[in-house]
């Protein structure tokens, strides 16, 4: 895998390259402190991911990204910047992520989990990891868990959103199942327990009669890290949260206040 890193400050370029190397030790990193040399490299080698600063001299990072996408349409673009002003423009361009400096290994890993084009099947994170920023997704050993039904996945998302609070079947049904009966809740609950049991993670649930919750201490999750005040998670949050679930807007509003 070849990765492009462009940053006009030599010290910051080395820092960016080192953080990318920590997250992707097997990758070939092409590091440049100017846009012209970066573009020249595209004619020689296929680039799969480009980490770009916004302010890089005469050609800003957004315009450089457009040139890169023209040359390598399947290249994932990740912006690394100290400016939040360009985020909307970056995502309109189709950027995979927008990282605020200082860049850390954790931020790079988050960006890798958000790639639109590139498959990183060889990169593994051990155990269970739940991502709430962006769209809700559950990973086990670095791979998305695909055995969830639509409703069992939403049930898990709702429990994560409640961050450890034990919820009654009535509360859950009213919030996400349009007031369905307790029997429907029991079916979805059974599905969720079965799926988590298959990957040895059933113990993250707090179970009771017509009740269900999640044990925050047993789950690695970007939202839980955010609630705990982790600097890495605070920086990873880019204003999106469980985008596929309408009921998550309440939490999103609270996070953005």
Same domain assignment for residues 134 and 91: no
* Tokens coding 126: 């051990």
One domain for residues 236 and 210:
yes
Asked whether the whole model's pTM tops 0.75, one would answer no
Q: Are strands 137-140 and 128-131 parallel, antiparallel or unpaired?
A: antiparallel
Residue 234 is assigned to a structural domain of this protein: yes
Residues 8 and 101 both lie in one domain: yes
Partner residues linked to 4 by β-bridges: 30, 50
* Within a domain: 220: yes
Going by C-alpha positions, the residue among 82, 107, 102 that lies closest to residue 23 is 107
Residue 231 lies in a domain: yes
Do 133 and 247 lie in one domain? The reply is: yes
In this structure, is the dihedral angle defined by the CA atoms of residues 125, 227, 107 and 160, taken in order, positive or negative? positive
pLDDT at 126: 65
Same domain, 182 and 216: yes
Domain extent, residue 252, equals 128-256
In a domain, 191, yes or no: yes
Which CATH number covers residue 42?
Answer: 3.40.50.2300
CATH number, domain with residue 192: 1.10.10.10
How far are the Cα atoms of 50, 216, 243 from residue 63, in angstroms, in the given order? Answer: 13, 42, 28
pLDDT in tens, the chain (257 residues): 899 999 999 999 999 999 999 999 989 999 999 999 999 988 877 899 999 998 887 778 888 999 998 888 889 899 998 877 777 777 777 788 889 899 999 999 888 877 776 756 444 456 899 999 888 999 888 788 999 999 999 999 999 999 999 999 999 999 898 867 778 889 999 999 999 999 999 999 999 888 999 999 999 898 998 898 876 667 668 788 999 999 999 999 999 87
- Residue 236's pLDDT is 66
- Is residue 1 classed exposed, middle or buried when 0-12, 13-18 and 19+ CB atoms within 10 A define those classes? middle
Is 144 found in the same domain as 92? no
Do residue 95 and residue 133 come from a single domain?
A: no
Which string of DSSP letters, residue by residue, matches 4-31? Answer: EEE-SSHHHHHHHHHHHHHH-TTSEEEE
pLDDT of residue 250: 94
Domain presence at residue 119:
no
Say if residue 167 is in the same domain as residue 109: no
Q: Is the dihedral of CA 69, 71, 75, 77 positive or negative?
A: negative
Same domain, 99 and 160: no
67 and 151: one domain? no
- End-of-domain residue from the set 89, 113, 137: 113
pLDDT of residue 252: 94
Q: Which two tokens stand for residue 216?
A: 């925050």
Residues 243, 142 within the same domain: yes
The structural domain count of the chain equals 2
């Amino acid at each position: 895998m070849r990765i492009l890193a462009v940053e006009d400050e030599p010290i910051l370029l080395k820092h960016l390259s080192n953080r990318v190397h920590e997250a992707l030790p097997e990758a070939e990193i092409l590091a440049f402190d100017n846009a012209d040399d970066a573009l020249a490299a595209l004619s020689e080698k296929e680039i799969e991911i480009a980490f770009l600063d916004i302010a890089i001299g005469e050609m800003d990072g957004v315009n450089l990204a457009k040139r890169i996408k023209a040359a390598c349409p399947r290249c994932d673009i990740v912006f690394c910047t100290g400016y939040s002003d360009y985020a909307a423009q970056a995502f309109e361009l189709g950027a995979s992520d927008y990282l605020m400096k200082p860049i850390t290994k954790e931020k790079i890993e988050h960006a890798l989990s958000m790639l639109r084009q590139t498959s990183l099947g060889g990169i593994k994170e051990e155990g269970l990891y739940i991502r709430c920023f962006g769209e809700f997704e559950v990973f086990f050993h670095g791979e998305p868990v695909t055995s969830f039904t639509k409703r069992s996945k939403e049930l898990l998302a709702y429990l994560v959103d409640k961050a450890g609070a034990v919820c009654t079947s009535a509360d859950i049904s009213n919030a996400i199942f349009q007031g369905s009966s307790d029997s429907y809740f029991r079916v979805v609950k059974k599905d969720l327990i079965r799926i988590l049991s298959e990957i040895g993670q059933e113990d993250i649930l707090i179970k009771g009669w017509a009740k269900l919750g999640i044990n925050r201490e047993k789950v690695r999750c970007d939202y839980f890290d955010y609630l705990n005040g982790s600097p890495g998670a605070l920086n990873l949050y880019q204003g999106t949260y469980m985008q596929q679930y309408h009921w998550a807007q309440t939490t999103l509003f609270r996070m953005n206040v």
